[in-house]
Structure 1
Amino acid sequence: MRKVLTVCLGNHCRSPFAALALARRGAAELEVRSAGLIGKWEGEPANEAMVAAARRLGLDLTAHHAQQITLEVLDWADIVLAMDTAVLETLRAICGEKNAEKLALYLNDRDVPDPMGKDQAVFNDCALLIEAGTALHVGRPDR
C-alpha cells in the first residue's frame, strides 16, 4: 500500500479535501494523510466552504483537523503531493535530499489554485479540480 501525503499552505482547504478524494478513489491501494506548511489552523476543522464543496461531491470532511507538516510525516510518505508550486518549493527547502525524490505537484504540471477568501463557487470549482486530479495518482504503481 502506497502512502500519500497531500500538502497545502494551511491544511485547511485543498490538502484535506485531496486526501479525502484520493482515499475514496484509491481505498484499496493508498493510505493518505494531509498536512500544511503553516500551523495557523492547527487542530481546527476544515474550512466551512470546503466542507460544503466536499458534501456536494459525496464526501464528508467534517472529521478533519488541520496539522502542520513534520519531518516524521514526510518520512512516512512514499509520495508527497504539493497543491501548488509555492508549496512545492517550500517542501524542497524543508526536505533536503532525503525526501526530495518524493515531491511532486498534485496536478503534475499546474497548480490547484488556493480558494481561501473566495466565494463558494470557487471552492466548488477547486473541489472538482482536485477530484478530477485523483486519476493522476490512483492505479499508477510509479506514483
Structure 2
Amino acid sequence: MKRVLFVCTGNTCRSPMAEAILRSKEIPEVEVKSAGVFAAKGSAASENAGKVLRENELSLDHKSTQLSQTEIEWATLILTMTASHKEAVLSYFPQAVDKTFTLSEFAGNAARDIADPYGGSVEIYRAAFAEIKDAIEKVADKWKV
C-alpha cells in the first residue's frame, strides 16, 4: 500500500489540487492525503482551487490539515510543492528524509518549484493545476500495473 501525502504551505491550494488529481486516478493500493506546513486547521480549499477542480470534473471535500507527526507516520511517500516545503518537513521531521521529495523531483523533472497561486487569478490556478497534473501523471504512470 502506498500512502501519499502532498504538502504545501496552507493546504488550501496546491496540495488539495494534487490530492484530488491523484485520487481521481483510482490507482489500486494508493491512498492520498494533503497537509500544510503552516495550515490553519479546518479551512476550505481556496475558491479558485475549487473552481479549477470543478472545471476538470474533480471533486474534493476538503478541510485543511496542519502537518503533524500523525501525517508523517501515516505516509509512505511525502511529496512537497517546493524545495522550501521539503526543507521545512525535514527540519521538523528529520526521520522522514528517505520518503520526502518535491513533486517535480519525484516525477523526474528538473528541480522546479510549483508556484503558489494563492490570491492569484483563476488563470494562475489553472497554470498551477496543469503543472501539478503533469507531474502526477508521470508518477502515476510508474505505479500502474
Q: TM-score, normalised by structure 2?
A: 0.89
Q: Which runs of 5+ in 2 are unaligned?
A: 106-110
The amino acid of 1:133's aligned partner reads A
Per-residue deviation, 1:27 = 2.9
The amino acid of 1:88's aligned partner reads K
The amino acid of 2:82's aligned partner reads D
Per-residue deviation, 1:24 = 1.3
Partner of 1:30: 30
Partner of 2:123: 121
After TM superposition, list the pairs within 5 Å mapping 1:31-70 onto structure 2.
Answer: 31-40=31-40, 42-61=41-60, 63-70=61-68
Distance 1:5 1:136 in 2: 17
The amino acid of 1:137's aligned partner reads V
The amino acid of 1:57's aligned partner reads N
8 Å CA contact 1:4–1:79 kept in 2: the answer is yes
Residue 102 of structure 2 is aligned to residue 105 of structure 1 = yes
8 Å CA contact 1:25–1:134 kept in 2: the answer is no
8 Å CA contact 1:115–1:126 kept in 2: the answer is yes
Determine which structure has the larger helix proportion and give its number: 2
Partner of 2:77: 79
SS of structure 1 residue aligned to 2:104: coil
Per-residue deviation, 1:138 = 1.4
Distance 1:102 1:39 in 2: 21
1:49-68 deviation line (CA, Å, top 9, x unaligned): 0000111111013x100010
Q: Of 85, 88, 91, which residue of structure 1 is paired with 2:89?
A: 91
SS of structure 1 residue aligned to 2:57: coil
Identity of aligned residues (%): 28
The amino acid of 2:124's aligned partner reads V
Q: TM-score, normalised by structure 1?
A: 0.91
Distance 1:3 1:118 in 2: 30
